Amino acid sequence: MLAAGTIVTLAFILTAILAPVIAPFGYSQISDADGSFPAQAAPGGKHLWGTTVGGYDVFSRTLWGAQTAVTVIVVSVILSLVAGVLLGLFSGYLGGWVDRILVVIADAIYAFPSLLLAIVMSIVIGHGQSGFWSGVAACAISITVVFVPQYFRVIRAETIRLKAEPFVESAKVVGASPWRIMGRHIFSNATRTLPLIFTLNSSEAILTLAGLGFLGFGIEPTSAAEWGYDLNKAMSDVSSGIWWTGVFPGAAIVLTVLGLTLVGESMNDLNDPRLRGRKRAGKGSAKQRTAVPAGGVDSKEATA
């Protein structure tokens, strides 16, 4: 699972990085030296995956869409990490009324659907017609608000556990300040599970961005390529038998989310001590079975 997810995720990242080199055309290019691109052209020739109703090259827009998705993931998840980790450290270590207020706020945020919040932020920031950075900001801010409680809860729980450990008590005895204890002693130990949450939230960020584009609140096609927008425009092509305008961006979303999810789930399995215990037990029983002679156990020994 980890190997398959890693391969798909690395392919997604390399596609985003190398999109300007691999893509034969720009994300908003509709003509070249030979003239305007034909609308809804079938795959083949210089348009490997065909063209859309607007004349965009499907192959190029799919590659450029990976770059847009990576940008949203980086911006949104980094904002969520910074806010969630800082709030979790303060709340778990300080406790008291600060902890109670932050816990109530974190619980309340779970009542907001991420996609609905993303639509609201898109209207507020870009007035529903988003350019590249305004569309990225709308999606990133909505994801940040929704995902901060996840990081907050994980870091808060680890901080509460760690502040009772002997090494933290020793730091208090020698006169270390609370800020030094949180930054030097607790932070590095409380953030070990963050890579798992990061991978799962990255897939959710892609789905939120695609949902915005599909509903018409995403990034405009002249500002950047976005898979959800291309799926929205491909809906009217399905009844006409034009499959290539929707299959390729849809497959890109599915494969990318699948790869990130496989990485996250496999990391969760690797970090689960119960599963590691089962594997050790299985290896131990296998060794015991191989230790039995090939001829089996003697009947007298079995009776005894």
pLDDT tens column, 184-222: 778 877 777 777 778 878 888 888 888 888 888 777 777
* pLDDT on residue 283: 57
Name the most confidently modeled range: 138-147, 148-157, 261-270: 148-157
Question: Residue range 268-289: average pLDDT?
Answer: 61
* pLDDT on residue 303: 47
Query: Tokens standing for 150?
Result: 């996840």
Reported confidence tier of residue 12, pLDDT bands at 50, 70, 90: very high
The per-residue pLDDT for range 120-130, each reduced to its tens digit, is 877 777 665 56
Query: Tokens standing for 303?
Result: 């009776």
pLDDT, the chain, mean: 81
The Cα 258–Cα 45 span in angstroms is 31
The Cα 203–Cα 225 span in angstroms is 18
Helix or strand or coil: residue 51? strand
Judge whether residue 301 has pLDDT over 50: no
Q: Are strands 31-32 and 35-36 parallel, antiparallel or unpaired?
A: antiparallel
- Tell me what percent of the residues of the chain surpass a pLDDT of 90: 12
Question: Residue range 138-167: average pLDDT?
Answer: 83
* Cβ partners under 8 Å of residue 248, min gap 6: 49, 58, 59, 62
Q: Which CATH architecture has domain 2-22+56-273?
A: Orthogonal Bundle (1.10)
Q: What are phi and psi of 32, to 5 degrees?
A: -145, -160
Q: Comparing 41-45, 93-97, 111-115, 222-226, which segment has the lowest mean pLDDT? A: 111-115
Judge whether residue 297 has pLDDT over 50: no
For residues 74 and 293, which has the higher predicted lDDT (pLDDT)?
Answer: 74
**Which among 226, 246, 233 has a CA at the least distance from the CA of 43?**
246
* pLDDT on residue 120: 80
Question: Residue range 110-125: average pLDDT?
Answer: 78
- Tell me what percent of the residues of the chain surpass a pLDDT of 70: 87
Name the most confidently modeled range: 5-14, 36-45, 206-215: 5-14
Judge whether residue 165 has pLDDT over 70: yes
Beta bridge partners of 31: 36
Domain range annotation of the chain: 2-22+56-273
Question: Residue range 105-118: average pLDDT?
Answer: 80
Question: Residue range 82-101: average pLDDT?
Answer: 87
